[in-house]
Amino acid sequence: MKKPKEIQNEGDLDALDRKILDVLREDGRISIAELGARIGLSKTPCQIRFRRLLDDGYIEGFRATLNPAKLKLDHIAFAEVKLSDTTEKALTKFNEEVKKIREVEECHMIAGRFDYLLKIRTPDIRRYRAVLGEKISNLPHVANTSTNVAMETVKETW
């Protein structure tokens, strides 16, 4: 059976696919029947599209959105990290090791005056200081770091 023209290529997303993804970003627990109703499809075609989006990797998984303040993890710091060595071997080693630090919520390689930007979530500044001194500063090839502390989170989604 031939796929409809607008979704013949695996990488192509049509307007309905994008609507499905938009709805799921807001409510990952929505039923297929409700999802279909929200985007204007009956249950079976919606299920087929949902399954394809999952199988093709557009949807990586589902998880709960936790409340950092309730968990006493509402201190956010951004650490700029400059490496002493930026060879591929050094970058790979840094990448492997930074992934092991639980407090590092995000790690981005940056083109600019430093090499990496890390988002670090801890209960307070004292714990952040310990994570910085004991873990981040001891990562392979770290030459220096600089910290920016978030005073307020205005928007945090994806």
Q: Average pLDDT over the chain, rounded to whole?
A: 92
Q: How far is it, in rounded angstroms, from Cα 93 to Cα 21? A: 34
Instruction: Let me know how many helices (H) and strands (E) the chain has, helices first.
Output: 5, 4
pLDDT at 11: 60
In 27-124, which ranges are continuous DSSP H helix?
A: 32-39, 43-55, 88-98
Proportion of the chain in helix, strand, coil states, percent, rounded to 5: 35, 20, 45
pLDDT at 158: 64
Q: Is the model's pLDDT at 155 over the cut of 50? A: yes
Give the tens place of pLDDT for each residue, 112-145: 999 999 999 999 999 999 999 999 999 999 999 9
Residues with Cβ within 8 Å of residue 111, at least 6 apart in sequence: none
Instruction: For the chain, give the percent of residues with pLDDT over 90.
Output: 86
Q: How far apart are the first and last CA of the chain?
A: 35
Averaged over 81-97, what is the pLDDT? 98
Give the tens place of pLDDT for each residue, 26-70: 999 999 999 999 999 999 999 999 999 999 999 999 988 889 999
Q: How far is it, in rounded angstroms, from Cα 38 to Cα 41? A: 8
Instruction: For the chain, give the percent of residues with pLDDT over 70.
Output: 92
Q: Residue 120's CB: how many other CB atoms inside 10 A?
A: 24
β pairing state of 142-149 and 104-109: unpaired
What pTM, to 2 d.p., does this model score? 0.80
Q: Is the model's pLDDT at 10 over the cut of 80? A: no
Residue 156's pLDDT band (cuts 50, 70, 90) = confident
Residue (of 93, 158, 102) closest to 130 by Cα position: 102
β pairing state of 116-122 and 142-149: unpaired
